[in-house]
Amino acid sequence: MNSSASAVAWCERLGSAAASAPASGIAEVMRHGFGRNGIIPLWVGEGDEPTPAFICETAAESMARGETFYMPQPGIQQLRDGLAAYHDRLYGGLFGEPFPADRFYVTGSGMQAIQIAIRLVADPGDEVIVPTPAWPNFPAAVGVAGAKACQVPLRFDPAGWRLDLDDIAAAIGPRTKALFINSPSNPTGWTATEADLAAIVELCRRRDLWIIADEVYSRFTYGSDRPTTPSLHDHIVPDDRVLFVNTFSKNWAMTGWRVGWIEAPEAIGPAIENLIQYATSGVAVFMQRAAARALSEGESALSSLIDRARIGRDIVSTALAAIPGVSFAPPGGFYLFFRVDGVSNSTEFAATLIKEADVGLAPGSAFGAGGEGFFRLCFARNPDDLSEACARFANWMSRRA
């Protein structure tokens, strides 16, 4: 048996959910760039600044104090209190009261927050609606749970992507349990307006759906004086079924830490604790101490990251707007998601771009329905690298034309 036949034989021995879990389309393209000197990698959703030193030092001090034992499953009290206080500062309380610490559950990454949120609301065979283009890990995690992700494409217009509530309503079936709302969206940058959010909440109340709310990029606001983009926090009442999934990754340059949180109605806390117990059984105390310090003293570090992203956003918006055949809506979060006229295979296009111009983009096809022909570029990076990448891309496009 040759080794590829052997791999097939082994995979036939796996469960179908495991065998059918898709590889990330982003990772597939990244392989083309692996080990290339001089490539400018704009494909991953991650800045290029390491975690601020004061956060790292907090973790090191905690370890040195011997905080290396098992921990409470929902998270240490200091961090749950810190999350409540942080949300109070951003949203001025919830339901007319300060946020209770019991709404917050610390998870081993935003990804795990999503895994647990899906498991909370969807049994095998159930459905979850996902507006697309979307971060591929969300629908993939739905599939791994044995449920089905129903993709509903956003409408593209250079004036802005648009979520059509009628499209969502039409996708609701008898087994639909939840709607995933990611605003600002990775990859499109679509950002829900207050009116969008009010309509989404109303629809989900009427059709008896959970909302899994991913507002991970909400602090990265452009052209507004408010500390966040519009949030479901300002639209819900105590009976609304909303699970917020979030992460320390983007706000405090902690992508490599794998620490996130779920915010949920306190009444389902025991179910969340159990799912944490049977997933990874908690997050290291020393990481939680560091995360708590990021919340309480990280606001100026976050401001610097936002300023840097704003500069990056301006650079790439200006540069790409000048390239014939390129179109895009106003970018949000960390991303500019642009279309190149005439491209029908974005994976192949991205692979060629790597080889010929040393610029790394994520292919739109990786983001599901409505993504083909588009490319995602992360602008939360060094401005010089962004300028150089755009120049290389413009030059390559002009030679290609």
Report the site for its own copies in 84-123 (rule: CB under 8 A): 108-109, 111-112, 115, 119-123
Distance, in Å, from the CA atom of 122 to the CA atom of 147, rounded to the nearest integer, reads 7
Sign of CA dihedral 86, 87, 92, 96: negative
Q: Does 237 help bind its own copies (rule: CB under 8 A)?
A: no
Q: Does 302 help bind its own copies (rule: CB under 8 A)?
A: no
Of 77, 193, 224, 274, which one interacts with its own copies (CB under 8 A)?
Answer: 274
Q: What is the DSSP string of 294-357?
A: HHHH-HHHHHHHHHHHHHHHHHHHHHHHTSTTEEEPPPBTTEEEEEETT-S-HHHHHHHHHHHH
Q: In the stretch 31-50, what mask flags binding to its own copies with x, by CB under 8 A?
A: -------------x-x---x
Write 361-366 long-range contacts (CB < 8 A, 24+).
Answer: 361/29, 361/42, 361/43, 362/25, 362/26, 362/29, 362/43, 362/44, 362/187, 363/25, 363/26, 363/29, 364/133, 364/187, 364/337, 364/339, 365/25, 366/24, 366/25, 366/26, 366/28, 366/29, 366/136
Of 154, 168, 216, 254, which one interacts with its own copies (CB under 8 A)?
Answer: 254
Distance, in Å, from the CA atom of 188 to the CA atom of 279, rounded to the nearest integer, reads 31
Q: What is the DSSP string of 133-189?
A: S--THHHHHHHHTT-EEEEEEPBP-TT--B--HHHHHHH--TTEEEEEEESS-TTT-
What is the nearest approach in angstroms of its own copies to the Cβ of residue 61?
Answer: 9
> What DSSP element (H or E) covers 212?
strand 210-214
Q: What is the DSSP string of 75-89?
A: --HHHHHHHHHHHHH
Q: How far apart are the first and last CA of the chain?
A: 47
Stretch that binds its own copies, among 84-92, 270-278, 377-385, 393-401 (CB under 8 A): 270-278
Stretch that binds its own copies, among 9-17, 82-90, 303-311, 312-320 (CB under 8 A): 9-17
Residue whose structure tokens are 């989404």: 200
Of 79, 245, 284, 315, which one interacts with its own copies (CB under 8 A)?
Answer: 284
Binders in 306-335 for its own copies, by CB under 8 A: none
Cβ-based neighbours of 261, under 8 Å, separated by 6 or more: 75, 83, 104, 105, 106, 107, 113, 245, 246, 247
Of 154, 287, 292, 323, which one interacts with its own copies (CB under 8 A)?
Answer: 287
Stretch that binds its own copies, among 10-18, 81-89, 316-324, 391-399 (CB under 8 A): 10-18
Q: What are phi and psi of 150, to 5 degrees?
A: -95, 115
Nearer to its own copies, 139 or 189 (CB): 139
Of 159, 237, 267, 401, which one interacts with its own copies (CB under 8 A)?
Answer: 267
Nearer to its own copies, 89 or 206 (CB): 206
Of 104, 156, 261, 286, which one interacts with its own copies (CB under 8 A)?
Answer: 286
Of 77, 281, 303, 304, which one interacts with its own copies (CB under 8 A)?
Answer: 281
Nearer to its own copies, 84 or 275 (CB): 275
What is the nearest approach in angstroms of its own copies to the Cβ of residue 81?
Answer: 18
Binders in 119-148 for its own copies, by CB under 8 A: 119-126, 137, 140-141, 144, 146
Kindly state the number of chain residues that form the binding site for its own copies, as judged by CB under 8 A: 81
Nearer to its own copies, 290 or 340 (CB): 290
Please report how many Cα atoms fall inside a 13 Å half-sphere around the Cα of residue 122, on the Cβ side: 34
What is the nearest approach in angstroms of its own copies to the Cβ of residue 118?
Answer: 9
What is the nearest approach in angstroms of its own copies to the Cβ of residue 139?
Answer: 10
What is the nearest approach in angstroms of its own copies to the Cβ of residue 348?
Answer: 21
Nearer to its own copies, 281 or 318 (CB): 281
Of 212, 275, 366, 377, which one interacts with its own copies (CB under 8 A)?
Answer: 275
What is the nearest approach in angstroms of its own copies to the Cβ of residue 48?
Answer: 8
Q: Does 258 help bind its own copies (rule: CB under 8 A)?
A: yes
Binders in 155-194 for its own copies, by CB under 8 A: 177
Residue whose structure tokens are 């829900």: 192
